[in-house]
Amino acid sequence: MKKRLQFIFLIASVTAGGIILCQLYWVYFNYNISRKNFLQSANYALRKSVDEYQLAQNKLPTSLKHKNPTLTFFMRTLPDNDSLALDTPDSKRRFSAEFATVAVDRQHLPEVMALVGRLLSQQKHIPLNLDTLTTIFNRQLRNNRINKRFRLYADRNQSIISEEQVAAVVNFYKDPVIIHAEMIDGQHYLLTSNFLPALVSSLMVLLSAGSLYYMSKIIKRQMMLDTMKSDFINNITHELRTPVTILKSSNEALASFGAADNPETLNRYLKINAAVLETLDTDIERMLEFGRSEAHKLKPVYEKVLLFEAIQKVTERFAMIENLNIRIELDTSLEIMTDRCMLGTILVNLIDNAIKYSPGGAQLVILAEKLPKGWNLSVRDHGQGIPAAALPHIFDKFYRVSTGDIHEVKGYGIGLAHVGQLVAAMDGNIRVYSKLDRGTTFKLTFNRYEKNRCAAG
């Protein structure tokens, strides 16, 4: 069982680890895609801004602005002569020429206008106005839903544009110029724009890690319960073997060695057998009562109880135990509303537990006091104490504090678990304080119960 749980935990850890790695990779991948998309959009906006700037700086042919845009080209002279020789200041000859007019479809009009504007800029050599270009570029960015401002600067020394840069070549000068765009206060732009996906992924990572942690706690808890179950079976086997052995030996003595013929010996053996059977009956009843409380079948029956007398009757059951001293410190007239039977069972288990873990004799103090909204009860011993690591588990069923030898202290690991169930059934709570070699204190607090409420319950 333990190996199977370890294997399940290993598989679950690998699965959760894979989910976490996938989420981290998705965040990294999404960031890279966003960065590439941003660079592509910014570069496209810069190139388009350069084209728009060129168009704004030049007067284009009016034919391109008509409803049906056209462009007229000079084809040749008539007769065909050197057109450049005719187009000089010294030439005063008249000549005829052939022109061709072509229609420009609307789909390609922006490219044609950009081309004409670039050609005209190359001829005029108009100085580049970076402020105007910056204004156009920021407007194009807003059209592309990039709400960040950039500043532009020209670089005449660089000839190659890196993929990580926002830049464009302006080649309508004799020497091409590269225009670079630099974001103003934009170091965290990509992080902020990817904040929501990153947040979702972070939550998924935390959820996966939390699930793995919670699952590991459950698996460890299951492994502990499995160990406690095995210990309980071993304990109950050991505890039952001893009385069975005693009964078997007593029966053999009566049957085979003539002990039945001796009234005194017969009476002694019968008392031994009766005591052993009484112990077995008590143990069985405790386990059955524990099972009933586990099924939530226990209902408190409240009545008015004189607390001092109720505690005194319980302590009288332990009168025959050697080296046991129980001191009761409370107002003898203190009267409470409680379930007498349940209270007795709680005290019996707490006292029995203190005796078991107080080598050399138990010294117990039982205290009680009335509170404004109820009453509390404390059982304090000076025994060996409980390790701090074991305190959170002492009310778990079948749990027993390890002492190195599982049979060193008799019991089944259900006493304190049963106490916790009874206290909860009586609408109370229980706390435990313990120090090794100093002792343990169990403090129980119960709410006040009026007569009418008790009758209704």
Are 417 and 395 a contacting pair, CB within 8 Å?
A: yes
Mean pLDDT, to the nearest integer, of 58-83? 77
Q: State the distance between the two ends of the chain, measured CA to CA, in whole angstroms.
A: 43
Q: Domain check: are 150 and 241 in the same one?
A: no
Report strand pairing: 362-371 vs 324-329: parallel
pLDDT for residue 395 is more than 70: yes
CA 394 – CA 390 distance, rounded (Å): 6
Q: Domain check: are 354 and 267 in the same one?
A: no
Query: Beta strands of 229-344 (E only): which ranges?
Result: 303-306, 324-329, 335-338
Query: Which residue, among 293, 275, 274, 273, has the nearest Cα to 285 in the 3D structure?
Result: 293
Higher pLDDT, 186 or 356: 356
Residue 30 lies in a domain: yes
Q: Domain check: are 309 and 403 in the same one?
A: yes
Least confident among 18-27, 144-153, 182-191, 400-409? 400-409
pLDDT for residue 456 is more than 50: no
Mean pLDDT, to the nearest integer, of 305-320? 87
Last residue within a domain, chosen from 278, 293, 308? 293
**Range(s) of the domain holding residue 259:** 195-293
What is the pLDDT at residue 86? 56
Tokens, residue 307: 């607390």
pLDDT for residue 441 is more than 90: yes
pLDDT tens-digit map of 163-180? 778 888 877 656 678 888
Residue 216 lies in a domain: yes
Which residues are bridge partners to 251 per DSSP? Answer: none
| CATH number of 415's domain | 3.30.565.10
Q: Choose from 202-206, 226-230, 237-241 the range with maximum mean pLDDT.
A: 202-206
Say whether 384 sits in a helix, a strand or coil.
Answer: coil
Q: Domain check: are 368 and 448 in the same one?
A: yes
Q: Choose from 67-71, 189-193, 284-288 the range with maximum mean pLDDT.
A: 67-71
Residue 90 lies in a domain: no
Q: Domain check: are 261 and 188 in the same one?
A: no
Alpha-carbon dihedral 50, 51, 56, 58, rounded to 10 degrees: 110
Report strand pairing: 335-338 vs 303-306: antiparallel
Q: Domain check: are 274 and 132 in the same one?
A: no
What is the pLDDT at residue 409? 56
Residue 254 lies in a domain: yes
Higher pLDDT, 122 or 363: 363
Band of residue 445 on the pLDDT scale cut at 50, 70, 90: very high
Q: Domain check: are 312 and 236 in the same one?
A: no
Q: Domain check: are 317 and 234 in the same one?
A: no
Q: Domain check: are 433 and 305 in the same one?
A: yes
Which amino acid, residue 26?
Answer: W
pLDDT for residue 270 is more than 90: no
Number of domains in the chain: 3
Residue 221 lies in a domain: yes
101 Cβ neighbours under 8 A, 6+ residues apart: 63, 70, 71, 72, 73
- Name residue, tokens 């607090």: 445
pLDDT for residue 428 is more than 80: yes
pTM of the model: 0.46
Band of residue 378 on the pLDDT scale cut at 50, 70, 90: very high
Last residue within a domain, chosen from 151, 172, 193? 193
pLDDT for residue 360 is more than 60: yes
Last residue within a domain, chosen from 175, 193, 211? 193
Band of residue 36 on the pLDDT scale cut at 50, 70, 90: confident
Task: Looking at 412-450, list the stretches that DSSP marks H as alpha helix, in order from N- to C-terminal side.
Answer: 415-425
Q: Domain check: are 385 and 287 in the same one?
A: no
Band of residue 189 on the pLDDT scale cut at 50, 70, 90: low
Residue 89 lies in a domain: no
Are 356 and 410 a contacting pair, CB within 8 Å?
A: yes
Residue 405 lies in a domain: yes
| CATH number of 267's domain | 1.10.287.130
Residue 187 lies in a domain: yes
Are 418 and 356 a contacting pair, CB within 8 Å?
A: no
Which amino acid, residue 375?
Answer: W
CA 427 – CA 336 distance, rounded (Å): 14
Higher pLDDT, 431 or 198: 431
Q: Domain check: are 275 and 424 in the same one?
A: no
Band of residue 12 on the pLDDT scale cut at 50, 70, 90: confident
CA 138 – CA 117 distance, rounded (Å): 21
Band of residue 455 on the pLDDT scale cut at 50, 70, 90: very low
Q: Domain check: are 391 and 402 in the same one?
A: yes
